[in-house]
Amino acid sequence: MHLLPRTRNVRSSPIGSMHHLLDRVPTETPLIDLSQGAPGYPPPPAIVERLAAAAAEPDSARYTPILGVPGVREAVADDLADCYASTIPVDHIGMTSGCNQAFAMVASTLAAPGDGIVLVLPYYFNHHMWLELDGIEPQLLRPATGVAPTIDELDAAVGDRTRAIVLVSPGNPTGLTLDPGLIAEAADLCRRRGVVLILDETYRSFVPGDAPPHGLFDEPEWADHVVSLHSFSKDLAIPGHRTGCIVGHPDLLRETAKLIDCVTICPPRLGQEAVIAGIRGAGAWRQAKVAEIAANQARFEQVLASRPGGFELHSAGAYYAWVSHDREHSSDVVAERLLVERGVYALPGSAFDPEPSRMLRFSFANASLAQLDQLHDRLAGLRR
């Protein structure tokens, strides 16, 4: 079959592309899966109970409004108000089939083929994939120091065809939580330069401490130049129900609704019911899971403190850690060898950067503390 060049030349997701190697892991080596940022535990009882009841209701299999049922938008507005200590109108919230769809719909609303959107390296691979598939130029910014850009670097990255800047906080793949001051400066930069800040906050519930992740929603005209994207997959352990949302100007939401109508028509109804139940009835459960993942991060950092096998931690947070290796081989080779020889499943840095990389992404949120305790010896035992 003849395939369109723009799909044929786009790399596939690294998670799927490494699955074929699982058959080569020795059966006597229990797998430590640190590859995918998805909860390894079931959703809270409040969601399970609500889904069981909702499945039998007459409306359970029917379409919903394109941007979500009123009840879920109200619940999300309340949840965001608790997180940011700021009021967000319900008409500024539109539900989507996961945060990946939220990004795709917003990017395709803001930019036409030939326009550009700035991605900071290392990028989240699905962001890069979508821009390439939609004919939008990924304008790649490589920070000179570390993984956080400076405001001057962001300013220099904006060109005549730039329509938006994308920031992810906490980061995927780096785990880095951006300083609220930098986020505020980036929003102001976008206002001055006439572009939009797309802030992917998929992991905002896992930001350490009690302070709001940023104060953008306190600004009177924030929606004119800021779009915030959210997911409930990790927060409520419902990745398969595909629930996310766009927080932005009502005019933007009306335009994204045209795209959503052509792709999924509406978000899954049961996923929306799960979000309502989780926000309204699983507060303590959510806090407990955040604490568990924070404990995983602390243990992972302890394991990497001695640089076992030459693996060095550069940043960590939320679900992820960004780790370098000291081998002569590329990260693709090292990731394959870690999986096949040591039963450790991590993703190569090349999935998040088009240039050769000596980095790996580990998702410590997937592991048990016992597995993380085994990780030191697994990494240290990888032969040169």
Tens of pLDDT, residue by residue, the chain (384 residues) = 565 666 777 777 777 667 777 778 877 789 999 998 888 899 999 999 999 999 999 999 999 999 999 999 999 999 999 999 999 999 999 999 999 999 999 999 999 999 999 999 999 999 999 999 999 999 999 999 989 999 999 999 999 999 999 999 999 999 999 999 999 999 999 999 999 999 999 999 998 788 999 999 999 999 999 999 999 999 999 999 999 999 999 999 999 999 999 999 999 999 999 999 999 999 999 999 999 999 999 999 999 999 999 999 999 999 999 999 999 889 999 999 999 999 999 999 999 999 988 999 999 998 999 999 999 999 999 887
Whether residues 262 and 365 share a domain: the answer is no
3-state SS of 187-247 is: HHHHHHHCCEEEEECCCHHHCCCCCCCCCHHHCCCHHHCEEEEEECCCCCCCHHHCCEEEE
Residues 320, 171 share a domain: no
Q: Are residues 268 and 302 in the same domain?
A: no
Q: What pLDDT is attached to residue 22?
A: 76
β-pair partners for 348: 360
**Strands 137-141 vs 162-168: parallel, antiparallel or unpaired:** unpaired
Residue where a domain stops, chosen among 259, 281, 303: 281
- Looking at the structure, do residues 362 and 271 belong to the same domain, yes or no? no
Looking at the structure, tell me whether residues 123 and 138 fall in a common domain. yes
Query: What pLDDT shows up at residue 20?
Result: 73
The domain spanning residue 89 has which CATH number? 3.40.640.10
Domains identified in the chain, total number: 2
- The reply to whether 346 and 273 lie within a common domain is no
Shared domain for 114 and 202, answered yes or no, is: yes
Q: Which one of 225, 248, 281 terminates a domain? A: 281
Give yes or no: residues 37 and 49 share one domain: no
Decide if 219 contacts 199 (C-beta within 8 A): no
Q: Is the dihedral of CA 259, 261, 262, 268 positive or negative?
A: positive
Q: Report the CATH number that the domain containing residue 34 is assigned in CATH.
A: 3.90.1150.10
Give the whole-angstrom CA distance, residue 325 versus residue 114: 37
Q: Which two tokens stand for residue 192?
A: 């001055």
Q: So what's the pLDDT on residue 4? A: 60
Cβ neighbours of 193 (radius 10 Å): 15
Considering the domain architecture, whether residues 111 and 163 belong to the same structural domain is answered as yes
Reading the block at residue 37, the tokens are 């940022």
pTM: 0.95
* Same domain, yes or no: 74 and 112: yes
Q: How far is CA 6 from each of CA 9, 131, 135, 139, 298, rounded to the nearest angstrom? A: 6, 11, 8, 17, 42
Q: Which domain range does residue 247 map to? A: 45-281
Same domain for 223 and 90: yes
270 and 303 together in one domain: no
367 vs 373: CA distance, rounded Å: 10
Distance between CA 202 and CA 13 in Å, rounded? 18
Last residue of a domain, one of 281, 304, 337: 281
